[in-house]
Amino acid sequence: MASRKGTAPAARPKERAPGAAPKPAPSNTPPATRPGAERARNIIGKPFRRVDGRAKATGQTKFADDLVFPRMAFLRLVRSTVPHAKIRRIDLDAARALPGVLGFLTGAEMPEPFGILPVSQDEHVLCPDKVRFVGDPVVAVAALTEDQAIAAALAVIVEYEPLATIASVEEAIATPEPRIHDYGDRGNLHKIVSMEFGDVEAGFAAADHVFEDLVFYEGNTHLPMEQHAAVAVPEDTDRITVYSSTQTPHYLHRALAKVLGLPAARIRVIATPNGGGFGGKSDPFNHEICAAKMALELGRPIKITLTREEVFYCHRGRHPVLMKLRTGFTKSGAMTAQHLQTALDGGAYGSYGVASTYYTGALQTVTYRLPRYRFDSVRAFTNKPPCGPKRGHGTPQPRFAFEVHLDKVAHALGIDPAELRLQNLVPANSVTANWLKVGSIGLGRCIEAVVAGSGWRERRGRLPRGRGLGLACGAYLCGAGLPIYWNHMPQSGVQIQLDRSGCVAVFCGETEIGQGSDSVVAACVAEILGVDLKDIRLCVADTDLTPVDLGSYSSRVTVMAGNAAVQAAERAREIVARGAAEELGVPASRLAFAEGRVFDVEDPARGLLFAAAVAAAESRTGTIGTTGSYIPPRSPGRYRGAGVGPSPAYSFSAAVIEVEVDEETGLCDVVHVWIAHDVGQCINPVLVMGQVEGSVYMGLGEACMEEQAFRRLPRARSNALVHKFPSLLEYKSPTFADMPPVTTYIIEDPDPNGPFGAKEVGQGPLLPIMPAVANAIFDAVGVRIDQVPIGPHMILHALAQQAKGKEARFGPKEFPEFDFGIPLAVRTPDEGGDGTASNQEEAKVRKGIGTMTERKEALKGGS
C-alpha cells in the first residue's frame, strides 16, 4: 500500500476508557408532550403504504448488486480453505496469465487492522500472515468479467502451514497456546467479565429455594436473502464512493478511512437499501474495503457480490452460548438473587463480541424484579466464522435460559407461570440492580393479552397428552445508550430543506434494511408539518450528504432518528408558522398544520396551502433549512461495563405458543402463536405487525431448526473444522409451509423518550419465542429440552429417559470449570449505591492486560 505519509489520518474521537462516562449531553431530549400533541394525528398510528413500498413491489429498488457503472470490473476473494494456518506462500503466476485479469491484492498491501469496535481492531482486509477460519480472505483478484475473476481466483495457489484448531469454549479454555490472536484477556479467551450487583450470596441465603439450570443455545445465522454486495467508484486518485449493502455506513466510512489511509472527507459511503440485514451487515467487511482499494488502484469501478457460501463465512451471527443460571426464590415466588454464567463461542475475530459478551447478561434485570445479580461471562476465540450481532444481539440466549428456568420454578413452587411473571414485574420508571433505567413497561398488559387470547388459564396443563401451551416474555433495547465510539456527538441527525415548491427534503443517515426506517422518518416529519407523505423527498444513508446516523442496529432508528426528525420538523414548522402568521395576520400559536394546509385553528377556512406558507416564510427569512439531532439521556451506571445495557427505552413482549408433539417421531409442530408486543406507540401499525410476524418467524426458526454448526473432518483428513451446511438448502429455515397462524396484539404504553411515545419492534418480539416453544413441549409431554434448536432426537431422548423413570431432559450436562476472578462489586440502588464499583482497580488488575488499548499502552511502556 502507498505510504500513509502525507495523508492526514482520519479524524477519530479520543477513545475513552470504558467506565468513564461522557460529559452530560447537550440538552436535546424531546419534551414529553409537544405542542399540538393533543390534536388528532393524521399519519402517526394509522396504517399507510410504506414510502418505499411501490419501488419494492415493482423491482425498481436498486440494491447494491443492481448498480452498473461504465468500465465496471469485478472482484473476487480467494478464501482460506483451512481453519487455522500460517500462510507459507502465495503464487499468483498461473492466475495472472488468465484472460481479463486486471490485478491482485494481498494482505501486505493493507497492513492497517480494522474492526467494528475500537477495542477489537483485529481484522485485516486480507490475511497478511495467518488465516483463522475456513473462509478468511487471503487474496483479491479483479477481472473484466465476473467469470474471469472466478477463474482467476481458482487459479491462485496458497500454501498453508496448519496450526492446531480450537472448536469450542472448552477447548479454548484448555488450550491457551497457540493463540488465535495475540490479544485478549487470557490465552484464547477474548473477553472475561465478572460483576456482582449487591450481595448475591446473602440473597441466596435468604431464599427458601435455590434453582439451578444448565442451558445451551446453538449458534445460527442471519441469512438475509440478499448476499452482501459492494460497488466502489473512484472519482480521483484519492477520492472514492462506495455503495454497499451495509447496515452501518458510518462505521464502514471509518474503517475505509483507516485502512485506505484517506481522509474520511474524501470517502463517500452510500448504503443501498439492504435486502435484509438482521445484524449480518453491520460490521465493516473485507470485501467492501478490498473493492475500494482495487478501484483506487485500477481507476475504474469495481463490483463485488458474495456468493451464498461466502455469506455463511462472513456470518457475525448468533453466538453459541452455554449458560448456567442459579436463582433464589422465596416460597411465594419472589426472586432474592440470581447468578448467571455464560460462555460464548466467539469464532475467529472480535466483531461486536465484547458487546455481545456483556449483552448475554445486561438485560436479565429489566423484566422481573431482581434485587441482587451476579454475572460472569467468557468469550472464546475459535477457528470458525466470527460471531456478532443477530436480531436480539446477545440477549436471546440468556432470555431463553431465564424463561425456561422460570417455567420450571413455577412448576416447582406450584404457581401459574404467568402469575409468577406478573407478580415479579419491574415497576415503570425504576432503576434495576445493574443500574438500567426502565421507563414505560407494558409487559403486564402483554402477558394478560396472550394469556386471555390463548385460553391459557383454562387450557394449560389440561390439553390431551401431546398438546401443550408454553409462555415466555422478553425485553429489548431501543438503541444503545452509548455509541460505539464514545463521544459527545449526536447518534442521529436529520436535516430538512423546504422551498416554495412545498417539497420537504429530508436528509438522514439512517439505513433502510427492510424494517421501515425510511417510513418512520418520513412519517414523523409529515405528521408535524401536516403534509402528505408523497410531498416528502428522502435522502438517506449517504455519508457525503446526510447527517450522521450510526446505523440500523440495536433497534435504535425509530427512537433516535425519529426524535431527530421530530426536532428538525418542529424547527421547520416554527419558521413556516412565523411566515404564515404574518401573511394571515394570525398569531403563530393559533396555527395548525394539517392536510397540506397551514390554518387558523379558530377559523379553519383562514389558511394557506403548505407551499404558500413556505413561500411566505422563505420571502421573509430566506432559504429555509433546519436540523435535529438526538443524544440519549445519560444512564446512571458508572461501573466498567455500564456502557452495555442502557437504552432510552425498553420494549417488552410476551408469547404463548401451542405445540403438538408426536411421541413416535419426536417431531414438534407449532400449532399457534399468540404474541403481544409493547411498542410504546405505533408509527405505522401495519409495519409494526410485519416486524412482529417477522420476529416470530425468525424465532421459530431458531427454536426448531436453524443452526450454524461445524464439524471436524476425520483426523486422517486434516482434522479441519468445517461448516456443516454453508448452503440455503441445508441450513434449514422455515418456509411458507412451516409458518403457523399468529395472533398479534399490539400494546401501546407510550414512553416519554420515544418520538410520539414510540419504542422499537424489530427485535424484541423474537425473544419470547424460543423459550415459549420449549415450555410448551414440557406442557405437552412433560420433558424439558434445555437447548435450541430443538430437534426430534432431543425430544425422543428425553421421552426415553422419561419412560425409564430418569430425568426427562435433554440439554448440557456441565459448565466448564473456570475462574472468572474477583467480580466487579457494584452496590445496587436499593443498597444506596451510586452506580460505581467499589473495587474497580482490584477487579481490573486481576485480569492483567485487558483491552487492546491497554495492551498497546503496556507494549509501548515496555519498549
Q: Which residues bind ligand FES (CB under 6 A)?
A: 225, 276, 514
**In angstroms, rounded to a whole number, what is the distance separating the alpha carbons of residues 691 and 687?**
6
How far apart are the C-alpha atoms of 369 and 361, rounded to whole Å? 15
Give CA–CA dist 160/162, Å, rounded. 6
Cell matching residue 143: 477481472
Q: Which of 114, 125, 127 is nearest to 88 (CA)?
A: 127
Q: Write down the least CB distance from residue 226 to ligand FES, Å.
A: 8
Pick from 6, 14, 23, 59: which binds other proteins (CB under 8 A)?
A: 59
Piece in contact with other proteins (CB under 8 A), picked from 162-170, 445-453, 785-793, 810-818 = 445-453
Query: Could you tell me the three cell numbers for 840?
Result: 474497580
Cβ proximity to other proteins: between 226 and 288 the closer is 226
Told to check if 308 binds other proteins by CB under 8 A, we report yes
Q: Which stretch binds other proteins (CB under 8 A): 18-26, 208-216, 316-324, 726-734?
A: 726-734
Q: Does 70 bind other proteins (CB under 8 A)?
A: no
Q: Which stretch binds other proteins (CB under 8 A): 89-97, 261-269, 354-362, 728-736?
A: 728-736
Q: What character string, x for contact with other proteins (CB under 8 A) and - otherwise, covers 272-291?
A: -xxxxxx-------------
For other proteins, which residue of 259, 344, 354, 449 counts as binding (CB under 8 A)? 449
Pick between residue 204 and residue 745 the one whose CB is nearest to other proteins.
745
Tell me the C-alpha distance between 778 and 468, whole Å: 7
Task: State the virtual CA torsion across 408, 413, 416, 418 in degrees, nearest 10.
Answer: -60
- Decide whether 126 or 698 has the Cβ nearer to other proteins: 698
Contact 553, 754 (CB under 8 A): no
d(CA 761, CA 350): 27
Task: Compute the chain's Rg from CA coordinates.
Answer: 27
**Distance, CA of 466 to CA of 795 (rounded, Å):** 12
SS3 457: helix
Give the C-alpha separation, 706 to 312, whole Å. 13
Give the contacts of 570 (CB within 8 A, at least 6 positions apart).
34, 528, 628
Residues β-bridged to residue 425:
368
CB of 337 to other proteins, least distance (A): 21
If contact means CB under 5 to 8 A according to the sort of partner, which of ligand FES, other proteins, none does residue 249 touch? none
Least distance (Å) between residue 168 CB and other proteins: 28
Residues between 204 and 243 that touch other proteins (CB under 8 A): 222-227
Stretch that binds other proteins, among 4-12, 44-52, 169-177, 592-600 (CB under 8 A): 44-52
Please give the residues from 133 up to 152 whose contact with other proteins meets the rule CB under 8 A: 147-148, 151
Quick one: the chain helix, strand, coil %, rounded to 5?
30, 25, 45
Q: In the numeric block, which cell numbers belong to residue 637? A: 451506571
* Stretch of 352-360, 459-467, 490-498, 689-697 contacting other proteins, by CB under 8 A: 689-697
Distance, in Å, from the CA atom of 612 to the CA atom of 600, rounded to the nearest integer, reads 15
Q: Which stretch binds other proteins (CB under 8 A): 258-266, 583-591, 680-688, 832-840?
A: 680-688
* Site membership for other proteins, residue 694 (CB under 8 A): yes
Instruction: Please report whether residue 654 would count as binding other proteins according to CB under 8 A.
Output: no
CB of 477 to ligand FES, least distance (A): 23
Instruction: Find the shortest distance in angstroms from Cβ 410 to other proteins.
Output: 17
| Residue 1 interaction partner, one of ligand FES, other proteins, none, beta carbon < 5-8 Å per kind | none
- Please list every residue from 733 through 752 that binds other proteins, using CB under 8 A: 733, 735-737, 739, 742-747, 749
- In the bound state with ligand FES, the residue whose beta carbon lies nearer, of 307 and 839, is 307
Q: Is 214 helix (H, G, I), strand (E, B) or coil?
A: strand
Q: Which amino acid is at 291?
A: A
Q: How far apart are CA 232 and CA 302, in angstroms?
A: 5
For cell 424439558, name the residue.
Answer: 784
Residue 848 near which of ligand FES, other proteins, none (CB within 5-8 Å, type-dependent): none
Instruction: Please confirm whether the linkage preceding 685 is cis (ω < 30° from 0).
Output: no
Nearer Cβ to ligand FES, position 353 or 726? Answer: 726
> 422 or 609: whose CB is closer to other proteins?
422
Q: How many residues of this chain bind other proteins (CB under 8 A)?
A: 87
